[in-house]
Amino acid sequence: MKLTLTHDEIAAYCGELHASNQAFKSHYPADSFDRQPVHTVYGGANLFKAGFAAKLGEVALKTLDTYAPSYSVFARALGLPRADTLPTNAMELASLTRALEANPEQVRETKQAAWLAFTVYNRVVKKLQSEPVEDNRIDFEDGYGNRPDDEEDGHAASAADEVAKGMREGILPPFIGIRIKTFSDECKQRSIRTLDIFLTRLAEQTGGKLPQNFIVTLPKVTTPGQVSTCAKILENLEARLGFAKDSLRMEIMIETTQSIINYQGENTVPLLVAAAGSRCRSAIFGTYDYTASCNITAAHQNHTHPACDFARHVMQVSLAGTGITISDGATTSMPIGPHKAAKDVVLSAQQMDENRAVVHGAWKLHYDNIMHSLRHGYYQGWDLNPGQLPVRYAAMDTFFLSSLQDASARLNAFLNKAAQATLVGNTFDDAATGQGLLNFFLRGMACGAITEQEVLATGITLEELRSRSFVQIVNNRTGK
């Protein structure tokens, strides 16, 4: 074929494009294959014990049994899809439960809402029994408060002792770390001292070993200088205490307007991450501090405020493809009833009803907030109370299971027709949607809501799924 451009010119252009593409990949290496916890549970350092996670699981199971003794009650409290169609009559519910226990897939064909409620409830119970906490943060900031120096010194040392004990006994959650105080002028010295005491004591107790997936959380970050100083401190302590090189990782908390846009009008998020060097693993959004910094009054400081969505989206577009994970904030309405029975005293029926109403209301709010996060692409958030744990896992399972059949049909149709666009039902899918479906299964598997067998049923292989690229899958199948 006749060409206008010379061979050398085309080679030069290709060289320029290769350099540009490589530079892009250096900034956006793609999302990590590593597991990301679905939540972080914060608790005051003064309360931390090695068996903290198991204890929270016990309390969570007791709360679930008290306020939602059946899948029907739990589904209605949270507002699961079509939960209002579930039976309230005890005999009808018992009959339906027997059918679900005998053949859940058969019931699923005609009673999708019942199958979903039953499946979610049982998965939540199993999760609370086996791994109630995925990520635990020993808190020296808001959940701990300001205390005399000798008291915080003692808690920093004792927390390290308990972490070391948990390591020896193998009872720590899969992810764990500490949140120190902010690096503001008022708190910087106390914050650094706590970090030093904790890590020094931990190194003494463990011979320079860290728990798996250990991290240091730096809250209320406002300047890249705070992040770079924290990274330097971690590097120094790491070398002098015998921890493995680059093993002390950190995460930053985005809780102020200045950590979104700085005084020069720049997006601050990438600058903060870059200041950590290679030590930053994640960024967390702090709902209530952020809304306060926007001068939003207390009555309107909530998880779904538009100001929060703006900040979330800035974080999301800033960190997409970088390998830095993102986490959403907390629901501060706790599922704790107003009445507590004294020893040898039974609550009245009215008191129990009032407790149930408060707990169910807090559950519903937390569920709605988690669903809001999931729809916005935030697959991790905070939990502050053991009563919130059943809701966290129920929301994750519901989010994925309620869409599984539709997503499976669409992905299967895509794979069958490879590079061709597809019309399934009344939804037209293109390659970008194919990537979205791939993300659905990747995230669903990562949090345990979707099983390996359910993924394979779509026609995709695990190797293809782990490639994380729908375009690459299509090209491989069409021989391109």
Q: What is the pTM of this model?
A: 0.92
Q: Dihedral sign for Cα 198, 199, 205, 210, please.
A: positive
Q: For residues 128 and 61, is the Cβ–Cβ distance under 8 A?
A: yes
In which band, very low, low, confident or very high, does the pLDDT at 345 lie, cut at 50, 70 and 90? confident
> Residue 466 pLDDT more than 60?
yes
Q: Going by C-beta distance under 8 Å and a sequence separation of 6 or more, which residues neighbour residue 452?
A: 445, 462
Confidence of residue 310 (pLDDT cuts 50, 70, 90): very high
Summarize pLDDT for 55-105 with one digit per residue, the tens: 999 999 999 999 999 999 999 999 999 999 999 899 999 999 999 999 998
Q: H-helix or E-strand containing 274?
A: helix 268-275
Query: DSSP letters of 133-194?
Result: -SEEEEESSTTT----HHHHHHHHHHHHHHHHHHHHHT-S-SEEEEE----STTTHHHHHHH
Residue 353 has pLDDT above 80, yes or no: yes
DSSP tag of 220: S
More confident position, 289 or 438:
289
The identity of residue 67, as a single letter, is Y
The pLDDT tens digits for 410-436 are: 888 877 775 555 556 655 567 777 778
Of 462, 470, 467, 459, nearest to 445 by C-alpha is: 462
Helix (H) or strand (E) holding 477: helix 470-478
